[in-house]
Amino acid sequence: MSKFANLVNEKYGKSLDQMTDQELYQALLELIKDKANDYPLNNSKKKLYYVSAEFLIGKLLSNNLLNLGLYDEIEAELQSVEKTIAQVEEAESEPSLGNGGLGRLAACFLDSIATLGINGDGVGLNYHFGLFQQLLVHREQHAVPDSWLDQDTWVKRSQKTYDVPFANFTLSSTLYDIDVFGYGNKKRNRLRLFDLDSINSKIIEYGSINFDKQNIAENLTLFLYPDDSDAEGKLLRIFQQYFMVSNAAQLIIDEAIERGSNVHDLADYAVVQINDTHPALIIPEFIRLFTQEYNIGIDEAVEIVKNTIAFTNHTILAEALEKWPMGALERVSPDIAYIIRDLDKRVRKAHPDAPGGFIIDDHGQAHMANMSIHYGFSVNGVAALHTEILRDTELKEFEDLYPGRINNKTNGITFRRWIMNSNKALSSLLDEKIGEEWRVNHDLTAFEKYADDKDVHAALAEIKAHDKLKLKEHLLHRQAVVINENSIIDVQIKRIHEYKRQQMLALYIVHKYMDIKKGNTPKTPITILFGGKAAPAYIIAQDIIHFIMVMSEIIAKDPAVSPYLQVVMVENYNVTAAEYLIPATDISEQISLASKEASGTGNMKFMLNGALTVATVDGANREIAELVGEDNIYLFGKQADEIVELYETSGYNAYEYYNDPKLRSLVDFIISDKAIAIGNRERLYRLHNDIVNKDYFMALIDLEEFIEVKEKMYEDYEDQDLWMTKVVKNIAHAGFFSSDRTISDYNRDIWHLEADYEVVIDK
């Protein structure tokens, strides 16, 4: 009997074929948790702490099996009882401990850090409820709690506990760990998640995501906050952030001492990368601990922090830059408020002529980004264009004050999850054509020589067709929707936000619908899929979902159009859904208003999986275009510098665009009799009014060009050799976007840690 069958027999008294999927999942979980003991922790002198409010790790079963080199063995065993790992993984609930890109990036980074053998842990919070689950009922989003901890999970309780002193009370925490295995690496790291001991999930209203927001002592780690959350949640979020960083700072100091630090030399033992400003309060918290607990003078404390903290910025949206009222900080911790005032005084003294960089502004608000730049040694953007914009505009004063401090680290994605696991057929084709080395060095450039190879084109087409079938099955099973597996699959998946311009794609759909009604039927049917959650407090985002679903229904009910066009809003878009959607996609929608998307990472996943991209020159799209060449990507729209100028001069007037009869007919369809007959009048009028009179994110500015480029794309699809040539070139240049490259760059320029990298290739 095999080891696994043996374990199953011992623990469950059953043979493999008698086990349910749920039981098999539990058994594999246990097997891997045991196996972790054979993998010592990385333990070099200096250690990275990636502190983040979000780690959107997704399901871990198949990725852990892959990284441990157990995948094939377990797949074969399950096959003997006519099951697959994918099927067993259905029983695992997805830990949705993140909102979107920033959280998923943190998860990809953990995978790469472990794979490269770098001593580095993630540090965050053990939310009892992850990002809400989205139900689509009557063409509207409903948010329900995501109770992922109800079943057995990867989380292990540790012995470590801490106290966190708030203004009026002290709360205690317990640390939980999730093991992080690198691909083929024999050592392990961990994701360290703190939880509140006095948590009480009974304070949640049954079946809703509402709870008593005042009850800090019982609610602190209950929920992950949606971005764009309401004002009521703000104070709670500061409490949550302080709880996270106080625990993190105490852990980091304790572990450094264990490795030999005397705290004065902390920067030789630890480097702390803060993921956006959500963990920025770790700066004053370190200073509080150094001065109060370790007898270090404040000047030295400030110096230690400056040498330890590095900050990543993920946004230039002004409304997303965190500013906390000093009054609110006082209510959380008077000590922290006092230290922030002191840090502000130091900045004002040293740089009186750079008021844009002051920490506390004239309205008594503390700017977390400013504090993180002054009191860290590195600040990085997440794509070349994003970093240029930071240097030239938002952070211009800082570039002058600290030349060289602002640096770029273009985002990446882990190839383990986003191709090796989710697209096994494509991975095998690459093995066959260019050898297996790409799995460890992420170099795919050798694939370019197949750009005109008809057999490779045919093989790629076959893989895509198979992945479309898998997606079809998944959607049928998950939401009882039937898609056409022979259609062009055109996908926009990401959080719903006006700057990402789902509403622009919806207006394109209106155009296409009208055009088909006029008799211009596409040669190949088109399926446009949207996926994404809208923050519950973000009303216009909910209205956009509603309009998409209204269009979906109008089209489905119109027999003259439905054979050619289908629109689907995928319910509860999450990491698991992405793993089905991305391999099946032909057209990747990356259509944000130029300058607004810091990087994007979905764009990279699609390219790697053989989709072609329609894109504005924004975030990492620009780097994709540079790599593949402009013939192999479909660019359109205004450039970032033009948009930045329009904002500076208030030069955009939506109404002028609306006055164009062609655009007007599309926009007015939102409030047409047909739409109102199906939809909610209030929502549709609000959306219409917003686009006509405000359109802050300029959905109309690029719409005409967007329509043109999309028509060109569908036309090009008809020439499959032309299309597949471009697909090959996209895959061949995707290697740059491996998060192993990103992490190597962070390590080379910022962290300077040893990398203990010895990989055994094992599919």
Q: Annotated active-site positions, please?
A: 314, 494-495, 500, 601, 605
Q: How far is the CB of 244 from ligand 26Q (least distance, A)?
A: 13
Taking the C-alpha atoms of residue 624 and residue 613, their distance in angstroms, rounded to an integer, is 9
220 binds ligand 26Q (CB under 6 A): no
Interaction with ligand 26Q in 603-632: which residues (CB under 6 A)? 619
275 binds ligand 26Q (CB under 6 A): no
Sequence-separated (6 or more) residues with CB below 8 Å from residue 648: none
3-class SS of residue 565: strand
- Near ligand 26Q by CB under 6 A, which window of 221-229, 332-340, 555-563, 725-733? 221-229
**Could you give the string, one character per residue 148-187, with x where binding to ligand 26Q holds by CB under 6 A and - elsewhere?**
----------------------------------------
591 binds ligand 26Q (CB under 6 A): no
- Of 569, 568, 478, 583, the C-alpha closest to 90 is 478
**E strand residue ranges, 281-329:** 309-312, 323-325
Q: Give start and end residues of each alpha helix (H) in 69-192.
A: 71-79, 85-89, 101-115
Nearer Cβ to ligand 26Q (475/608): 608
Token pair of 671, please? 């409030």
Token pair of 485, please? 């597996």
Taking the C-alpha atoms of residue 55 and residue 130, their distance in angstroms, rounded to an integer, is 10
Do 598 and 314 meet the contact criterion of CB atoms below 8 Å apart? Answer: yes
- Near ligand 26Q by CB under 6 A, which window of 98-106, 470-478, 628-636, 748-756? 98-106
Do 177 and 582 meet the contact criterion of CB atoms below 8 Å apart? Answer: no
In 3-state terms the chain splits into helix, strand, coil percentages (rounded to 5) of 50, 15, 35
Nearer Cβ to ligand 26Q (320/514): 320
Q: How far is the CB of 505 from ligand 26Q (least distance, A)?
A: 17
Taking the C-alpha atoms of residue 36 and residue 189, their distance in angstroms, rounded to an integer, is 10
Nearer Cβ to ligand 26Q (388/762): 388
Q: Which residue's CB atom is positioned nearest to ligand 26Q?
A: 101
Taking the C-alpha atoms of residue 670 and residue 667, their distance in angstroms, rounded to an integer, is 6
315 binds ligand 26Q (CB under 6 A): yes
- Near ligand 26Q by CB under 6 A, which window of 340-348, 540-548, 591-599, 738-746? 591-599
Q: What angle do CA 570, 97, 20 make, to 5 degrees?
A: 70
Strand order in the sheet with 156-165: 156-165, 170-181, 188-196, 120-125, 47-51, 270-275, 309-312, 378-381, 406-408
Q: How far is the CB of 420 from ligand 26Q (least distance, A)?
A: 21
- Near ligand 26Q by CB under 6 A, which window of 17-25, 33-41, 99-107, 294-302? 99-107
Do 79 and 121 meet the contact criterion of CB atoms below 8 Å apart? Answer: no
Nearer Cβ to ligand 26Q (583/619): 619
Q: How far is the CB of 301 from ligand 26Q (least distance, A)?
A: 27
534 binds ligand 26Q (CB under 6 A): no
Q: How many CB atoms lie within 10 A of CB 167?
A: 14
Nearer Cβ to ligand 26Q (227/394): 227
Residue 480, Ramachandran bin (φ over 0: left; ψ between -120 and 50: alpha; else beta): left
Applying CB under 6 A, among 58, 95, 100, 536 the residue interacting with ligand 26Q is 100
Nearer Cβ to ligand 26Q (387/609): 387
Do 513 and 555 meet the contact criterion of CB atoms below 8 Å apart? Answer: yes
556 binds ligand 26Q (CB under 6 A): no
DSSP 214: T
597 binds ligand 26Q (CB under 6 A): yes
Q: How far is the CB of 699 from ligand 26Q (least distance, A)?
A: 18
**Could you give the string, one character per residue 39-78, with x where binding to ligand 26Q holds by CB under 6 A and - elsewhere?**
----------------------------------------
- Near ligand 26Q by CB under 6 A, which window of 314-322, 371-379, 422-430, 472-480? 314-322
601 binds ligand 26Q (CB under 6 A): yes
In the chain, DSSP finds a helix count (H) and a strand count (E) of 32, 19
Q: How far is the CB of 595 from ligand 26Q (least distance, A)?
A: 11
Look-up: residue for tokens 């830990």?
95
Nearer Cβ to ligand 26Q (52/174): 52
Applying CB under 6 A, among 31, 74, 105, 343 the residue interacting with ligand 26Q is 105
User: Each residue of 633-671: b (16+ CB within 10 Å) or e?
Assistant: bbbbbbbbbebbebeeeeebebeebbeeeebeebbebbb
- Near ligand 26Q by CB under 6 A, which window of 55-63, 445-453, 481-489, 596-604? 596-604
Q: How far is the CB of 228 from ligand 26Q (least distance, A)?
A: 7
Q: How far is the CB of 382 from ligand 26Q (least distance, A)?
A: 4
229 binds ligand 26Q (CB under 6 A): yes
Nearer Cβ to ligand 26Q (70/326): 326
Residue 754, Ramachandran bin (φ over 0: left; ψ between -120 and 50: alpha; else beta): beta
Q: How many CB atoms lie within 10 A of CB 130?
A: 24
DSSP 754: -
Taking the C-alpha atoms of residue 239 and residue 320, their distance in angstroms, rounded to an integer, is 18
Token pair of 66, please? 């892959």
For strands 270-275 and 47-51, give the pairing: parallel
Tell me the longest C-alpha to C-alpha distance in the chain: 80
Taking the C-alpha atoms of residue 597 and residue 624, their distance in angstroms, rounded to an integer, is 14
Interaction with ligand 26Q in 407-436: which residues (CB under 6 A)? 411
As a whole number of Å, the CA-based R_g of the chain is: 26
Q: Give the interface size with ligand 26Q as a residue count (CB under 6 A).
A: 21
End-to-end distance of the chain based on CA atoms, in angstroms? Answer: 23
Applying CB under 6 A, among 46, 188, 190, 314 the residue interacting with ligand 26Q is 314
**Could you give the string, one character per residue 346-385, with x where binding to ligand 26Q holds by CB under 6 A and - elsewhere?**
------------------------------------x---
Look-up: residue for tokens 């001991």?
197
Nearer Cβ to ligand 26Q (104/439): 104
DSSP secondary structure, 597-626, as one string:
-S--SHHHHHHHTT-EEEE-S-TTHHHHHH
Nearer Cβ to ligand 26Q (340/509): 340
600 binds ligand 26Q (CB under 6 A): yes
Applying CB under 6 A, among 14, 35, 213, 237 the residue interacting with ligand 26Q is 237
3-class SS of residue 171: strand
**Could you give the string, one character per residue 442-481, with x where binding to ligand 26Q holds by CB under 6 A and - elsewhere?**
----------------------------------------
- Near ligand 26Q by CB under 6 A, which window of 223-231, 360-368, 579-587, 628-636? 223-231
Q: How far is the CB of 311 from ligand 26Q (least distance, A)?
A: 13
Nearer Cβ to ligand 26Q (467/597): 597
Q: How far is the CB of 359 from ligand 26Q (least distance, A)?
A: 18
Taking the C-alpha atoms of residue 556 and residue 562, their distance in angstroms, rounded to an integer, is 5
Q: How far is the CB of 499 from ligand 26Q (least distance, A)?
A: 9
599 binds ligand 26Q (CB under 6 A): yes
Q: How far is the CB of 620 from ligand 26Q (least distance, A)?
A: 7
- Of 272, 414, 51, the C-alpha closest to 750 is 272
Q: How far is the CB of 170 from ligand 26Q (least distance, A)?
A: 25
Residues of this chain that interact with ligand 26Q (CB under 6 A) are 99-102, 105, 225, 227, 229, 237, 314-315, 320, 322, 382, 411, 597-601, 619
